[in-house]
Structure 1
């Protein structure tokens, strides 16, 4: 029996949602760049304005019609957003300089460890202190504290990637180190999240934890032993024609199927997308003009829709309660200090200078929509109350807003190397054929 098409009214609302979000996200993103901020700041704010934080209070009838509280309707938007974020993370992986990562692997490892251990410890301590006031009645205080630790130690690879792209910093060594350390932090964060989720539901099972870690190592091993030669063969075949279509199609297919693979293993889909992006970059090599159309569509269309959609889930009105506001401010301060202190300490131990340490702290401090996703998981599992969920979302927003100005300040004091200039030329070659509009926040 054939499946019925989307009902006319649901299709109408979906198309209106996508068109409106894209229009406003593009406009607000351009406004943000004129104010000296990355476009992602404006794109995230669109969702906040159109979501329960603002529009639902100013015009509830319009809000309920434009964004009806129906799961299937919101899932249509989610699907578009997920494609956007996977392709965005994949493009980020394409521009990773693995030669630099191998040369500075020890520094990336030190930064990752510092950026994980310190904020994790701070988050657990504050979670225990605030468990009596913010924790749901039937939640174990230890589980609540562990969850707050996880929320404090994650970084947002999609947000960091978009910030680095907007600020033309993806080619810088610090940008590459931020992405490398951030990916390690996120991978650890997802494993920790699965552990805490197991504690909250069926109890801790060692087999589940071991399986998750083993799956991550298996993905990386398979990618660079089997995936790399297959990717090179595919792109050699695509290079037989001057048309960029086959190259774009193969790259997009690899990224999406990479996400499918890791998601099927119980890992996050963005992890597979990032790994496949690295494979694509190593297979094609420097100078990737054939991929410029893909980058244009993702950065200019799909990514703004994703960030605007993420903002729709945020409800900041509960911050009007004084107790919640005080607890929120405390957690924001702890989150910022923990991530900055950990990344800075790891950078200094790895023999990076003062300004490089601060720049790494600023980049890794951005939690963005990953923080929101973690908060949503906690809310769904009953680990977080509505107030605690709102505070974690607040941390994600504030830390993402802090990253661009601090990065701009610190990177202005770090001299660009000849290797970085070569990498920048390759990056600009990718963008130039498609006439991608760059942010004026170049460092």
Structure 2
């Protein structure tokens, strides 16, 4: 029997300390320039791996990261746990039901966002010189991999960028995330089938067809019956008042492992099983936003950095760096995903000003692109030069996302938010103790302001939108909203709850005290900016403190009007 000696344990702890500590430290530093943590994690791996440390101080590199197989396996096992949990977390962010309910625009964007970049990447990859291929006799299989790898977007990165711009909870953010949810499911399904076809190439066609049918059947089962069973299980955990979030986390982890075992047994990679398990768990309405946040923080704080820093320990990025190939992969990935989403938006009736923002939101390949590249590398489908190009292309797409998306959103004509908000639009003391009753109070006030819709109609529309994607944010803020056909201009009403509304399911678990209800015409471009500016203004802790202690409606109005006086939002533009 083999036992791990004390020296191996000591070296393993030193490796974890260096990788995790440097990745987190550099991540915080780059975060000041709004750069994703993934960039820091890749850089730390490159610095400590054969690229820099192994080249400049080979003896030191040998001491810290010896070529001993058992030592390498310890670190790699932890890294793979990280990527399993990352796919599980990615699935949790997918809201398949909401995407399916509004499948008109979202489905058009998602399908175009998959088909167009796949066609572009597949066609271009066929013309790559054969020395870039591991098997020159199989260029079609290589091109199929490139097509799927460069079509998958990094939904988590886009969600963070939208959150930073205060757009995540808007209709624009909801549409983008819905389209990317469908994109992720289709993209991962196609990639696992391509990878399975490559690894099973020596098998009979009947076996390959069995794998294909089993994979599709498993996916359909999970998206229908499995989703309802998972929802019922998490609801039962909540009903029995089991310890949270520990019990929910254990259940979701076991579900991921079960699905991983099933997909690995089918003949496709276990990562797809973890992703599908996350999708099923993410559909559970009983899973609170706070629990989701805790799971996300655990995954991104501990497991993910160890996986991505470990990539730099495996590959010499300088020895395998090919500038022309890096440009080729970057242009194909970023350009293809942008064009696909742009074409999809053109098929909808969305305002012209939203086209570029939606297309830009689809450009990052990020972690998902790197993961599929690493899998292909380990299975011998691509060379190290192609993998290095994929990593650089993915990181570059992350670096440009934030500034490009911010620039696109900022190019809008401005008006005062007070055009849509007045003293008569304020309820200084909401009587409701629950979310639905609070929405009813605000709907009655909005009906009196607009004199177009009955309060019941407004309440129904807002509640439907709220159930599709919750609008509670951190620090007691909620921004419920809806679009109404007969409205000519936006309406904003505000309600304050001194005691707080507990059941709004906010990410930080705090009750909602400040509720802005925003109603807008269909395809109104102003709604997005109104919501973003409300969120930005309410981030001021002193403003929230003054609002909660305001002793009258006049005091509330004075506080809010002064805060919004200098705020500017986008004027609605006509659709083309």
Same-fold call, TM > 0.5? Answer: yes
Question: Does the CA contact (< 8 Å) of 2:195 and 2:268 recur in 1?
Answer: no
Higher RCO, Cα 8 Å, sep 6+: 1
Q: Which of 107, 123, 127 is the aligned partner of 1:125?
A: 123
Q: Distance in 2 between matches of 1:153 and 1:206?
A: 28
Query: Corresponding residue for 2:197?
Result: 195
Query: Corresponding residue for 1:300?
Result: 301
**1:4-36 deviation line (CA, Å, top 9, x unaligned):** 432322222222222221111211221122111
Matched, 1:27 2:74: no
Q: Structure 1 residues 278 and 67, CA, compared in 2 at 3 Å: closer, same or farther?
A: same
Question: Does the CA contact (< 8 Å) of 1:39 and 1:166 recur in 2?
Answer: no
When structure 1 is superposed on structure 2, of 202-211 and 25-34 the one drifting more is 202-211
Query: Corresponding residue for 2:574?
Result: none
Matched, 1:423 2:425: no
Higher fraction of helix:
1
Q: Structure 1 residues 191 and 86, CA, compared in 2 at 3 Å: closer, same or farther?
A: same
Higher fraction of strand:
2
Q: Which of 359, 369, 372 is the aligned partner of 1:371?
A: 369
Q: Structure 1 residues 87 and 149, CA, compared in 2 at 3 Å: closer, same or farther?
A: closer
Q: Structure 1 residues 79 and 230, CA, compared in 2 at 3 Å: closer, same or farther?
A: same
Q: Distance in 2 between matches of 1:26 and 1:333?
A: 30
**1:379-404 deviation line (CA, Å, top 9, x unaligned):** 45555344333323332332233333
Question: Does the CA contact (< 8 Å) of 2:238 and 2:286 recur in 1?
Answer: no
**1:182-234 deviation line (CA, Å, top 9, x unaligned):** 23222222222333444xx5278364145235423323314531452354235
2:392 is paired with a residue whose SS is helix
Query: Corresponding residue for 2:386?
Result: 388
Q: Distance in 2 between matches of 1:165 and 1:344?
A: 21
The Cα RMSD (Å) is 3.6
Query: Corresponding residue for 1:403?
Result: 401
Query: Corresponding residue for 2:215?
Result: 215
Query: Corresponding residue for 1:39?
Result: 37
Q: Structure 1 residues 225 and 179, CA, compared in 2 at 3 Å: closer, same or farther?
A: closer
**1:96-151 deviation line (CA, Å, top 9, x unaligned):** 44442122224343333322332223223332322245335754344444443344
Query: Corresponding residue for 2:451?
Result: none
Q: Distance in 2 between matches of 1:241 and 1:360?
A: 41
Q: CA offset at residue 367 of structure 1?
A: 2.4
Question: Does the CA contact (< 8 Å) of 2:153 and 2:180 recur in 1?
Answer: no
Query: Corresponding residue for 2:269?
Result: 268
Q: Distance in 2 between matches of 1:86 and 1:166?
A: 26
Q: Distance in 1 between matches of 2:226 and 2:152?
A: 30
**Structure 1 segments (4+ residues) deviating >6 Å:** 161-169
Q: Which of 182, 185, 188 is the aligned partner of 1:186?
A: 188
Query: Corresponding residue for 2:425?
Result: none
Query: Corresponding residue for 1:358?
Result: 356
Q: CA offset at residue 377 of structure 1?
A: 4.6
Q: Structure 1 residues 258 and 146, CA, compared in 2 at 3 Å: closer, same or farther?
A: closer
Q: Structure 1 residues 126 and 76, CA, compared in 2 at 3 Å: closer, same or farther?
A: same
Q: Distance in 2 between matches of 1:281 and 1:380?
A: 30
When structure 1 is superposed on structure 2, of 157-166 and 42-51 the one drifting more is 157-166
Query: Corresponding residue for 1:225?
Result: 225
Q: Structure 1 residues 293 and 156, CA, compared in 2 at 3 Å: closer, same or farther?
A: closer
Q: Structure 1 residues 298 and 165, CA, compared in 2 at 3 Å: closer, same or farther?
A: farther
Query: Corresponding residue for 1:258?
Result: 259
When structure 1 is superposed on structure 2, of 402-411 and 333-342 the one drifting more is 402-411
Q: Distance in 2 between matches of 1:154 and 1:77?
A: 27
Q: Structure 1 residues 382 and 33, CA, compared in 2 at 3 Å: closer, same or farther?
A: closer
Q: Distance in 1 between matches of 2:384 and 2:92?
A: 38
Structure 2 residues without counterparts, runs of 5 or longer: 415-460, 476-504, 511-534, 537-576
Q: CA offset at residue 424 of structure 1?
A: 4.2
Q: Distance in 2 between matches of 1:36 and 1:44?
A: 16
Q: Structure 1 residues 141 and 91, CA, compared in 2 at 3 Å: closer, same or farther?
A: closer
**1:333-381 deviation line (CA, Å, top 9, x unaligned):** 2332222111211232244444544344434332234433444454455
Q: Structure 1 residues 33 and 251, CA, compared in 2 at 3 Å: closer, same or farther?
A: same
Q: Which of 6, 14, 35 is the aligned partner of 1:8?
A: 6
Query: Corresponding residue for 2:132?
Result: 134
2:284 is paired with a residue whose SS is helix
**1:280-338 deviation line (CA, Å, top 9, x unaligned):** 33334374435554333223222222332234334321366xxx322332332233222
**Based on CA coordinates, which of the two structures has the bigger radius of gyration?**
2
Question: Does the CA contact (< 8 Å) of 1:290 and 1:430 recur in 2?
Answer: no
1:5 is paired with a residue whose SS is coil
Count matched residues.
Answer: 428
When structure 1 is superposed on structure 2, of 180-189 and 84-93 the one drifting more is 84-93
Query: Corresponding residue for 1:438?
Result: none
